[in-house]
Structure 1
Amino acid sequence: MFDISIIGGCGHVGFPLGLSFAKAGFSVGLLDVNQKAIDQINQGQVPFKEEGAEALLKEILPKKKLTCTNDPKILLKSKCVILVTGTPLDEYLNPKLNAITKVIEEYLPYFKDGQLIILRSTIYPKTSQKIDQYFKSKNLNVHLTFCPERVTEGYALSEIKNIPQIVSGFSPEGIERASALFSKITKKIIHMQPLEAELVKLFSNAYRYIHFGISNQFYMLAEEHGVDFGNIYHAMTDEYPRMKGFPRPGFTAGPCLLKDTMQLCSFSQDHFHLGHAARLVNEHMPIHLVNQMKSKISLEDKTVGILGMTFKPESDDPRESLSYKLKHLLEMEAKHVLCSDEYMKHENFCSKENLIESSDVIVIGTPHEAYQTLDFKNLPVFSVWLQPSCS
Structure 2
Amino acid sequence: MTSAFPHWKNRKGIVPFMEEGAEPLLKKALASGKLTLSSEPEIVSLSKNIVITIGTPVDEFLNPEFKMITTAFEKLLPYFTNEQLIILRSTVFPGTTDWLSQWLKSRNKSPLISFCPERVVQGKAIEEILNLPQIVCGTTLEAEQAASNLFNLIGIEIVRLTPMEGEFSKLFSNAYRYITFAIANQFYMITTSAGVDYERVMNGVKYHYPRLDGLAGAGFAAGPCLFKDTMQLNSFAKNEFFLGQAAMNINEGLVLYIVERLSMKNDLKNMTIGLLGMAFKSNNDDARASLSYKMKKVLAFKAKKILTTDPYVATDEDLKPIDEVIAQSDILILCAPHKQYKSLDTKGKPVVDIWGFLGKGTLF
TM-score (norm 2): 0.96
What residue in structure 2 maps to residue 348 of structure 1? Answer: 318
Higher mean C-alpha deviation, range 309-318 or range 53-62 = 53-62
What residue in structure 2 maps to residue 206 of structure 1? Answer: 175
Q: After superposition, give the CA deviation of every residue in 1:220-267 in whole Å (9 maximum; x if it has no partner).
A: 000011000010010121211101122111000000001000011110
Higher mean C-alpha deviation, range 191-200 or range 55-64 = 55-64
Read off the aligned partner of 1:294 and give its amino acid letter. Answer: S
Evaluate the alpha carbon distance shift between residue 276 and residue 67 of structure 1 in structure 2; reply closer, same or farther with a 3 A threshold. same
Evaluate the alpha carbon distance shift between residue 127 and residue 342 of structure 1 in structure 2; reply closer, same or farther with a 3 A threshold. same
Contact 2:101 2:110 in 1 (8 A): no
Do residues 308 (structure 1) and 289 (structure 2) align? no
What residue in structure 2 maps to residue 80 of structure 1? Answer: 49
| Structure-1 separation of matches of 2:111 and 2:285 | 37
Choose which of 348, 355, 360 in structure 1 pairs with 2:330.
Answer: 360
Over the matched positions of the two proteins, sequence identity in percent amounts to: 44
Higher mean C-alpha deviation, range 267-276 or range 290-299 = 290-299
Choose which of 355, 372, 380 in structure 1 pairs with 2:342.
Answer: 372
Contact 1:374 1:390 in 2 (8 A): no
Once the two structures are TM-superposed, the CA of residue 300 in structure 1 deviates from its matched residue by 1.5
Once the two structures are TM-superposed, the CA of residue 99 in structure 1 deviates from its matched residue by 2.6
The alignment's C-alpha RMSD in Å is 1.3
Read off the aligned partner of 1:110 and give its amino acid letter. Answer: Y
Structure 2 residue matching 1:162: 3-state secondary structure: coil
Once the two structures are TM-superposed, the CA of residue 33 in structure 1 deviates from its matched residue by 4.1
Contact 1:254 1:320 in 2 (8 A): yes
Contact 2:53 2:88 in 1 (8 A): yes
Q: How many residues align?
A: 360
Alignment of 1:179-328 (within 5 A): 179-328=148-297
Higher mean C-alpha deviation, range 226-235 or range 49-58 = 49-58
Read off the aligned partner of 1:122 and give its amino acid letter. Answer: T
Once the two structures are TM-superposed, the CA of residue 184 in structure 1 deviates from its matched residue by 1.8
What residue in structure 2 maps to residue 157 of structure 1? Answer: 126
What residue in structure 1 maps to residue 112 of structure 2? Answer: 143
| Structure-2 separation of matches of 1:141 and 1:302 | 62
Structure 1 residue matching 2:283: 3-state secondary structure: coil
Once the two structures are TM-superposed, the CA of residue 296 in structure 1 deviates from its matched residue by 2.8
Once the two structures are TM-superposed, the CA of residue 388 in structure 1 deviates from its matched residue by 4.4
| Structure-2 separation of matches of 1:154 and 1:329 | 29
Contact 1:251 1:282 in 2 (8 A): yes
Choose which of 93, 96, 99 in structure 1 pairs with 2:68.
Answer: 99
Do residues 170 (structure 1) and 139 (structure 2) align? yes
Q: Which runs of 4+ in 1 moved over 6 A?
A: none
Once the two structures are TM-superposed, the CA of residue 66 in structure 1 deviates from its matched residue by 1.4
| Structure-2 separation of matches of 1:296 and 1:368 | 27
| Structure-2 separation of matches of 1:186 and 1:347 | 43
Do residues 108 (structure 1) and 74 (structure 2) align? no
| Structure-2 separation of matches of 1:33 and 1:231 | 46
Read off the aligned partner of 1:233 and give its amino acid letter. Answer: M
Structure 2 residue matching 1:134: 3-state secondary structure: helix
What residue in structure 2 maps to residue 20 of structure 1? Answer: none
Q: Which consecutive residues of structure 1, in runs of 5 or more, have no partner in the other structure?
A: 1-30
| Structure-2 separation of matches of 1:171 and 1:297 | 62
| Structure-1 separation of matches of 2:343 and 2:196 | 26
Contact 1:160 1:185 in 2 (8 A): no
Structure 2 residue matching 1:68: 3-state secondary structure: coil
Contact 1:42 1:67 in 2 (8 A): no
Contact 2:62 2:235 in 1 (8 A): no
